[in-house]
Amino acid sequence: MTPQEFWQESFDHHPFGYLTTTGRNSGEPHRIEIWFAQENNRVYLLSGGRDRSDWVRNLLANPVVTFELGGETVAGVAQVLAEGSSHDQRARELLVKKYQKKDELIEWGRNSLGVVIMLGRGDTADDAAADQ
């Protein structure tokens, strides 16, 4: 399944997705439920725990991940976004807009660590970096 096919049916119907990283110590799959936003072939995530979150530590050790929506899974390469970059700003805008009901997510959107997953990419972080 291509990333485009993956998103046509899934994006609007699911409030959260499932990110699977590889455990940095165990080597075992580590699956979490997470809020996300999508644009083109990118999945944007925010980590309120910043680089202290296990899932962020895992993808820093091995950026190859999978992202699942509605029972469909697509592989990708994840990368922490440079703070202040255009993709970092876009991640914050999209996620806060998608999930904010009042003003309760302003600080989360401002202080979290931005992450991007390039869907359907190869198995190196260089692929994701090429689009940053």
Distance CA 69, CA 81 (A): 22
**For a pLDDT cut of 90, what percent of the chain falls above it?**
56
16-30 pLDDT, tens digit each: 999 999 999 999 999
Distance CA 71, CA 69 (A): 6
- Two structure tokens written together for 16: 């959260």
pLDDT of residue 125: 43
72-120 pLDDT, tens digit each: 899 999 999 999 999 999 999 998 888 887 667 777 777 899 999 998 8
For residue 34, count CB atoms less than 10 angstroms from its CB and return exposed for 0-12, middle for 13-18, buried for 19 or more: middle
Q: Which residue ranges form the domains of the chain, and what is each CATH number?
A: 3-129 (2.30.110.10)
Distance CA 1, CA 119 (A): 11
Q: Which pTM value belongs to this model?
A: 0.82
29-34 vs 72-80, strand pairing mode: unpaired
